[in-house]
Amino acid sequence: MLPRRICTAAALFLWATSAQAHEFWISPNNYVTQKGGDIQAQLRVGQEFGGASYGFNENRFERFEMISGDQVIPITGRLGDTPALNMPAPAEGLVTVVHETGDNQLTYEGMEKFTKFAKHKDFEWAVEQHAQRNLPEERFTEQYRRYAKSLIAIGNGEGDDREVGMKTEIVALANPYTDTLEQFPVKVLLDGKPRANVQVELFEKGPDGEVEITLHRTDDNGVATFPVSAGNEYLVDAVVLLPMDADDPTSNPVWETAWAALTFLVPN
């Protein structure tokens, strides 16, 4: 575990060309909503749990929905709506908001930024593999897609998170709104299978806006646990890097990243 404390600040928002190391997450205006109220949530891109939001744009996502019990409710809106999610709350209980972006691409001008990213996300093996694959060291492209979830309590907030069928995702193995836990467990999945011994980055934001970042690892079953405190907001982030076959590596993506994120609050 490698903690460091930072102060949150607004990040520059460049959706189409944002730096690859930026996280993407769902940021509810209120994690706990009364029965019969509304759910509002921002879609954010940034660093260190701080970033600007972008509006509703169905051309930029493959999936955007709320899951409440057996209900799957598509999230609708008009182009540019901010917050991107603004709909009546479904039935009382735990709601999982799900968002899957479309594919985006990032071009690296050289190896320096790729090497820095690989080290940050625990993919240092990729630098050596890049050379072994005889890939270009200048102007090579990576394809990426984001898979985000957020847990919101309606009324009593009772219920469980579950696997929702995304390529990669983080599943909460406890309910932060009804369970009293000192250690919070999550499972990291890729294609429905546990990701064993991989890095999980945790962003913990206190009521004063200060953020603590810690690194954790999953066990053989893909489960990671971390301490939580009442009143704090959490972003759990896990990234997978996969090689892509490219007939022409100078014009086609040679790497693919899939980003999984989960947000929730531990109430007071």
Best CA proximity match to 170, nearest among 190, 140, 196:
190
Question: For residue 251, is it left (φ>0), alpha (ψ between -120 and 50) or beta?
Answer: alpha
Beta bridge partners of 169: 189
Domain span at 69: 4-265
pLDDT along the chain (268 residues), means of 10: 35 39 92 95 96 94 96 97 96 97 96 96 96 96 98 97 98 97 96 98 97 98 97 98 92 96 97
Task: Identify the burial level of 15 via C-beta atoms within 10 angstroms of its C-beta, where 0-12 means exposed, 13-18 middle and 19 or more buried.
Answer: middle
Please state, in angstroms and rounded to a whole number, the distance separating the CA atoms of residues 205 and 219. 25
Q: How many domains does the chain have?
A: 1
pLDDT value at position 182?
87
Best CA proximity match to 186, nearest among 173, 199, 195, 200:
173
* pTM given for the model: 0.91
Helices within 3-122 (DSSP H only): 111-120
